[in-house]
Structure 1
Amino acid sequence: MLFFDLDGTLLDSNGVWLDIDVEFLGRQGISPVPADYTDYVAHHSAPDAARYTKERFGLSHSPQEILDAWMELAREAYAHTLPLKPGAKEFLLRCHQAGERMAVLTSCMPPLCQAALERHGLLPLLEQVITTKELGLEKRSPDLYRRAAEEMGVACGECLLFEDAPDYCAAARQAGWTVAGVRDPLFQEREEELKTVCHHWVETFQTLPPELEKRMFQGDKKR
């Protein structure tokens, strides 16, 4: 079964969160955005990132108020402007036609995830959308991937994940999943690490590496 991350994998959206950080923290008089802050919030769920933001900068806002502000800034982008990665929809259509079961596994806030998937017409191709909020686990935890596999009624050895974040790829592999790393500019400095962690490397959905193309579309379904 195929699992897809959303932000930075299917959706060209990682940059929007940098813009939101700049806008939100700028409103609090915080500029520039610290690099270590960006690294933290990029690798944690929205609720954890909101709690961290409050504590890091000593804000008077509650974590929920921070989440609401982020949601307001992000909703327009997810519902109307953020594009898919080149070839992503065509790839999902091809997988669907080949009879592959597919799900999204994401830490994106559910309303934003839903808006983007609806806008791009991907929901009919997906069996399920699984969120870290729903499972109550972080994407850094191998247990998340075990739970996601259980949720879909498949063994971990039958799961193939497409993901752009090196730490998440490592966690999925530790859980026994096959992992395809997807190139995204946000992790440009960690590409060599990502290539090492993953079984496959996907520069673009428009051209799969030959070994992955063979596994998925030329009769070899072994994961």
Structure 2
Amino acid sequence: MPAETGGPTGHGEREVSDRWHVDAVLLDMDGTLLDTEKVYFDSLVAALNGCGYTDDVAALCHSMVGLPGPVCEAMLLDRYGAAFPLAEVNRAFIVHRDRMFDAALPLKSGAIELLDGLAAAACPIAIVTSSSRRTTERHLAIAGIRERFDTLLTLDDVTHGKPDPELYLKAAARLGVTPPACVAVEDSNHGVAAAHAAGAITLMVPDMAPPLEETRGKCAAVLPDLHAVLALLRERGAFGC
């Protein structure tokens, strides 16, 4: 996928060709740093099928990419009604998920290079994720990158998860910077909506769901991988941080 640039960045109509003032980089976790979204997707499809739900569940599960767990549960109840066996499906989902994660929890292409580049530039970073703190701690540890992050903003830290901007606003405040001086890296349409609404310079590296046209307009760039994110940060002079 070639890079696409030029959309609004949360700083009015500033174009991506301008040099950026960046005080921090805010990173989504699932689907951005960790190759987990397909595991979640496959596990939920398998859990639903195992519980007797086979009606185009793939499309429903695709629509959940990037959303917090409670929102996904509400979507399931809305579709199937109050009698939906939520606890049973959750148990089956966890069994499938953990079996796959026990085999491997791979990083996305370029993740280590990006983290090394940010560390070399002494650029403050934070994880900004719709996952719970327990899940975040576990997955970062399994992937071998937990020690790289002093700041984690998770679903446990906010009232409203993505696409609400609360996570990104709190992350910037935690780091002592303003949102417009942050670059946010996301993989999903919901995540981009959250970062853009907070006012961050938003980069998208699509994972399972392609960007909607509305999403493209909220991104400073849509990039093929995290190698390209690092290259763009260097190109735009972002490592002044």
If the length of structure 2 is used for normalisation, what is the TM-score? 0.78
> CA distance change for structure 1 residues 80 and 102 in 2, over 3 Å: closer, same or farther?
farther
CA drift at 1:126: 0.9
1:71 to 68, 81, 94: 94
Residue in structure 2 matched with residue 137 of structure 1 by the alignment: 160
Determine which structure has greater relative contact order: mean sequence separation of CA pairs < 8 Å that are 6+ residues apart, divided by chain length.
Answer: 2
> CA distance change for structure 1 residues 201 and 212 in 2, over 3 Å: closer, same or farther?
farther
TM alignment of 1:94-173, pairs within 5 A: 94-173=117-196
1:22 partner SS: helix
Structure-2 separation of matches of 1:126 and 1:204: 21
Percentage identity across aligned positions? 26
CA drift at 1:192: 5.5
| Aligned amino acid, residue 214 of structure 1 | E
| Aligned amino acid, residue 199 of structure 1 | A
Structure-2 separation of matches of 1:130 and 1:102: 11
CA drift at 1:141: 1.0
TM alignment of 1:40-51, pairs within 5 A: 40-51=63-74
CA drift at 1:45: 0.9
1:180 partner SS: strand
Structure 1 residue 197 corresponds to structure 2 residue 218? yes
Cα contact 2:65–2:188 (8 A) shared by 1 = no
Structure-1 separation of matches of 2:99 and 2:174: 31
CA drift at 1:30: 1.1
2:67 partner SS: coil
The RMSD of aligned alpha carbons is 2.6
2:156 partner SS: helix
1:187 to 206, 209, 215: 209
Please state which structure has a larger fraction of its residues in helix: 1
1:9 partner SS: coil
CA drift at 1:65: 5.2
If the length of structure 1 is used for normalisation, what is the TM-score? 0.83
Residue in structure 1 matched with residue 10 of structure 2 by the alignment: none
| Aligned amino acid, residue 187 of structure 1 | A
CA drift at 1:23: 0.9
Structure-2 separation of matches of 1:11 and 1:22: 20
Deviations 1:46-98 (A, max 9, x none): 12212332342236466555444433322333354131111211211221122
1:108 partner SS: coil
Structure 1 residue 15 corresponds to structure 2 residue 38? yes
Cα contact 1:173–1:179 (8 A) shared by 2 = yes
| Aligned amino acid, residue 71 of structure 2 | D
| Aligned amino acid, residue 130 of structure 1 | L
Aligned length: 218
CA drift at 1:99: 0.5
| Aligned amino acid, residue 209 of structure 2 | F
Moved runs in structure 1, 4+ residues, more than 6 A? none
1:41 partner SS: coil
2:128 partner SS: strand
